[in-house]
Chains A and B, each alone.
Chain A
Amino acid sequence: MVENRPWLTVFSHIVLILGIGVVVLPLWVTIVSSTHAGEDLLTAPIPMWFGDNMVENYRQMLTAGMEHVSGQPLTLMMFNSLVMALTIAIGKIAISLIAAFAICYFQFPLRMACFWMIFITLMLPVEVRILPTYEVIANVFTPLTRLLNLLGMEGTEIALPGFTIDLDFSMLDSYAGLTLPLIASATATFLFRQFFLTVPDELTEAARIDGAGPMKFFRDILLPLSRTNIAALFVILFIYGWNQYLWPLLVTTDPDYVTIVMGIQRMVNVADIEPQWNLVMTAATLAMLPPVAIVIGMQRLFVKGLVETEK
């Protein structure tokens, strides 16, 4: 507060409240609509206050789902989303931590080449390489067989004395296919590298004098020091994983692997009839709940993670 201008302060509050009104309105409409029966939402204007069909809507969506779109219960979709979000978040953190450790704490040939290879992933989001990545997921050994074919080997089998390896393994409709292509992360590797560079060298020296090997140093000193960074990153990556859309849309055709964010689209885009908005809004509320709860509940970690991943 530079000077006392009471009217300006009042004006600020009014602008903020109006702004929040605009930002919160969609949430309000969604939650209110999810408590009404289908008939209430057939004519405009729709009610802006809660109805009395909430229990019924949520019970139906959680246990049965929507019949005319193959009717997967939302509990299953939310479970899939949870598996995907956790695998992506934990996987990215785990492989980035050890990769950053290797790059910072070891001197070895090709160190910079490895670093640049990780850096490149920053420039290749799924959206720009969807078709070839889909091919790899349809058969994970595609790169290997192509290389073998180049070297003059025919077919898709490797014959070894005693047994043959069939080089055909599809990850479509599996959790591995949903998560693996999203798991490499240059951002997380950079973040940990940046952090490791600020860890005092004296700690490493002390550990070495005490006879600790690299893995013991990593486990007992570096990991505990990185705790806050890991937590902040986890918040951001969980939201990133939960909200994935394009990739699940491509690799899952089996309804058992549908995630909730991607599943809602099938409830909205129904041919020829109005969607059942009360149930769609019930699904939308449930889809927003976990990530929004995490952002609000872990606000400080969230802000830290957001600011640090952009550095």
Chain B
Amino acid sequence: MIKRVTFKHKWLPYALLAPQLLITLVFFIWPASQALYYSVLQQDAFGLRVDFVGFDNFAYLFSDPTYLDSFEITIMFSVSVALVSLSFALMLAVMADRVIKGATAYKTLLIWPYAVAPAIAGVLWYFMFNPAVGINAWILRAWFGYDWNHTLNGSDAMLLIVIAAAWKQISYNFLFFLAGLQAIPRSLIEAAAIDGASPLKRFWTIVFPLLSPTTFFLVVVNIVYAFFDTFGTIHATTRGGPYGATNTLVYKVFNDGFIGLDLGGSAAQSVVLMVIVITLTVVQFRYIERRVEY
């Protein structure tokens, strides 16, 4: 926690911590406490009076079908993003772990989507699936007879943002899976090969179980990403539509707070999101401590 050899100074440590603490207080702790405070208040229609309403905002929130829908949409979206991105990345990592020739070139070509902003990733796929001119929409129509339209069809829109969000996350997952695979002792795999286990059997009985710490860690990271970092993907493309089909929780907080100007409701939603982040962070940290022992 602290070095054995330390310095002594009356005010220097406080001065060194001051910038970080000041920003934390003004831009993090104060707004968070305000969100907590507003979440138990209600403003009247003209913004003249503010009443204390206790947990009414929360009760209203969890009886509001659009909010529950949004919850369901977010969970479906996050699970799909994690599943698509993780399985695709794992497949590529296993293959990249096998090949010797060209391994660096493959790696370079696979890691760059990490640098693409979620909003830009959204725009790229939005263009490729554009019903009028997009290349993917054209292929779906010409080859499979499917009329793709994410501006009218809710499941098309959902699929679009899942693909865009998962695509961006592939490189991250790929890098961590590859590192995990390379940490597995070769002797285990060689022993299984001598016993006559096929590559597929070796993967499912040795590699995949040994990789489970990495997988679990990535599941948490991917879900946090899908929950909180995909606002840009949605805002730049579907804008929560059509008919609320891609209205995730974070998009809804923004929409209700800034477009709808519902102070109490938006604050209550913020508090619910905070609880989710805190839970996920605690899960992640507890888990990482376990991994250190392992």
A interface with B by C-beta (< 8 Å): 1-3, 5, 8-9, 12-13, 15-16, 19-20, 22-27, 29-30, 33, 41-46, 48, 94-96, 98-99, 101-108, 111, 114, 117-118, 120-125, 127-136, 140, 142-143, 180-181, 183-184, 189, 196-197, 199, 201, 204-205, 208, 213-215, 217, 239, 242-243, 245-246, 249-250, 261-262, 264-265, 268-269, 274, 277, 280-281, 284, 287-288, 291-292, 294-296, 299, 302-303, 306-307, 310-311
Partner of A105, one of B7, B27, B175: B7
| B120 interface contact, C-beta 8 A | yes
Q: Given that A135-B34, A184-B27, A292-B115 are contacting pairs, would A2 and B193 also be in contact in the complex, using a CB cutoff of 8 Å?
A: yes
Expressed in whole angstroms, the Cα–Cα distance for A271 and B237 within the complex equals 13
| B254 interface contact, C-beta 8 A | yes
| B82 interface contact, C-beta 8 A | no
Among B128, B137, B142, find the residue whose CB has the most chain A CB atoms closer than 10 A.
B128
Q: Are B20 and A189 in contact (CB under 8 A)?
A: yes
Expressed in whole angstroms, the Cα–Cα distance for A31 and B276 within the complex equals 39
Q: Are B277 and A123 in contact (CB under 8 A)?
A: yes
Query: Restricting to B95-118, which residues have a CB under 8 Å from any CB of A?
Result: 95-96, 98-100, 102, 106-118
Size class of B's contact patch?
35 or more
| B211 interface contact, C-beta 8 A | no
Q: Which of B8-16, B54-62, B66-74, B153-161 contacts A (4 or more CB under 8 A)?
A: B8-16
Expressed in whole angstroms, the Cα–Cα distance for A268 and B35 within the complex equals 32
Partner of A95, one of B6, B23, B125, B171: B23
For B111, what are the chain A residues with a Cβ–Cβ distance below 8 Å? Answer: 295-296, 299, 302-303
Expressed in whole angstroms, the Cα–Cα distance for A9 and B97 within the complex equals 11
For B217, what are the chain A residues with a Cβ–Cβ distance below 8 Å? Answer: 310
Tell me the nearest residue of chain B to A277, going by C-beta. Answer: B127
Expressed in whole angstroms, the Cα–Cα distance for A149 and B236 within the complex equals 41
For A199, what are the chain B residues with a Cβ–Cβ distance below 8 Å? Answer: 3
Q: Are B23 and A183 in contact (CB under 8 A)?
A: yes
Tell me the nearest residue of chain B to A12, going by C-beta. Answer: B95
Tell me the nearest residue of chain A to B221, going by C-beta. Answer: A310
For B100, what are the chain A residues with a Cβ–Cβ distance below 8 Å? Answer: 1
Expressed in whole angstroms, the Cα–Cα distance for A306 and B171 within the complex equals 11
The 10 closest A-B pairs by CB, nearest first: A245-B232, A132-B31, A243-B117, A291-B115, A132-B34, A102-B16, A106-B13, A44-B138, A181-B27, A99-B20
Q: Are B116 and A292 in contact (CB under 8 A)?
A: yes
Q: Are A24 and B135 in contact (CB under 8 A)?
A: no
Tell me the nearest residue of chain A to B95, going by C-beta. Answer: A12
Q: Given that A105-B3, A130-B254, A268-B126 are contacting pairs, would A13 and B99 also be in contact in the complex, using a CB cutoff of 8 Å?
A: yes
Q: Are A16 and B199 in contact (CB under 8 A)?
A: no
Tell me the nearest residue of chain B to A143, going by C-beta. Answer: B30
Q: Are B113 and A245 in contact (CB under 8 A)?
A: no
Q: Are A99 and B186 in contact (CB under 8 A)?
A: no
Q: Are B112 and A296 in contact (CB under 8 A)?
A: yes
Shortest distance in angstroms between B204's beta carbon and chain A's nearest beta carbon? Answer: 16
Q: Are A246 and B254 in contact (CB under 8 A)?
A: yes
Tell me the nearest residue of chain B to A266, going by C-beta. Answer: B236
Q: Are B133 and A42 in contact (CB under 8 A)?
A: yes
Expressed in whole angstroms, the Cα–Cα distance for A278 and B232 within the complex equals 21
| B257 interface contact, C-beta 8 A | yes
Q: Are A299 and B28 in contact (CB under 8 A)?
A: no
For B124, what are the chain A residues with a Cβ–Cβ distance below 8 Å? Answer: 26-27, 29-30, 284
For B189, what are the chain A residues with a Cβ–Cβ distance below 8 Å? Answer: 2
Q: Are B3 and A41 in contact (CB under 8 A)?
A: no
| B75 interface contact, C-beta 8 A | no
Q: Are B24 and A118 in contact (CB under 8 A)?
A: yes
Q: Are B91 and A19 in contact (CB under 8 A)?
A: yes
Expressed in whole angstroms, the Cα–Cα distance for A189 and B130 within the complex equals 43
Shortest distance in angstroms between B20's beta carbon and chain A's nearest beta carbon? Answer: 4
